[in-house]
Amino acid sequence: MRNLLLSSLLFALVPVPSLQAQESERPAAPIKAEMKRFDEALDAVIDFLEDGKPGEAPPLAKVAAAQAALQASKQHPPRITGEQPQDKQEAFVRDYRIAMNRMIRSALDLEDALLQGDKKAAQKAVDDMVAQKKTGHRTFKGRRRRSRK
């Protein structure tokens, strides 16, 4: 009984890091890998919409992969979070997550359209995703810095 009490007390004294601290300590590299998975999946859907033959099954597994990549990317703060003023970093990460939620909703719209066989709606969802990606990169990815020699 005494050991149980001591263990409980010790566990209660161990600090638990906040979610924000955990997010800011994660490396940004997984976002790049997940976005590559997303791009590959989106390219497969675009190919299907442009070149798909009548009766060909839509690439629903690719759409699911895109959704999973977006969901995984949302779990990591953008690489440039640390470049933001300290008092604005939390809002920056929040805005990023909201933008990723919008992308995920568009991916769900894409899945719905493909399930219904509505290529026009699927193309609209893809166009929305491409536009959101461009805006998101401008806002959350930052410019690559190249060294000048």
Angle, vertex CA 39, rays to CA 37 and CA 45, nearest 5: 105
pLDDT of 29 higher than 80: no
The whole-model pTM stands at: 0.73
d(CA 37, CA 52): 21
Sign of CA dihedral 131, 134, 34, 19: negative
Question: What average pLDDT does range 72-85 have in this prediction?
Answer: 91
pLDDT of residue 89: 93
Of 12-16, 49-53, 69-73, 121-125, the poorest mean pLDDT is in 12-16
Architecture (CATH level 2) of domain 18-141: Up-down Bundle (1.20)
What percentage of the chain reaches a pLDDT higher than 90?
61
141: confidence class by pLDDT, cuts 50, 70, 90? confident
pLDDT of 16 higher than 50: no
Chain-wide mean pLDDT for the chain? 82
pLDDT of residue 104: 97
Q: Enumerate the domain spans of the chain.
A: 18-141
pLDDT of residue 144: 62
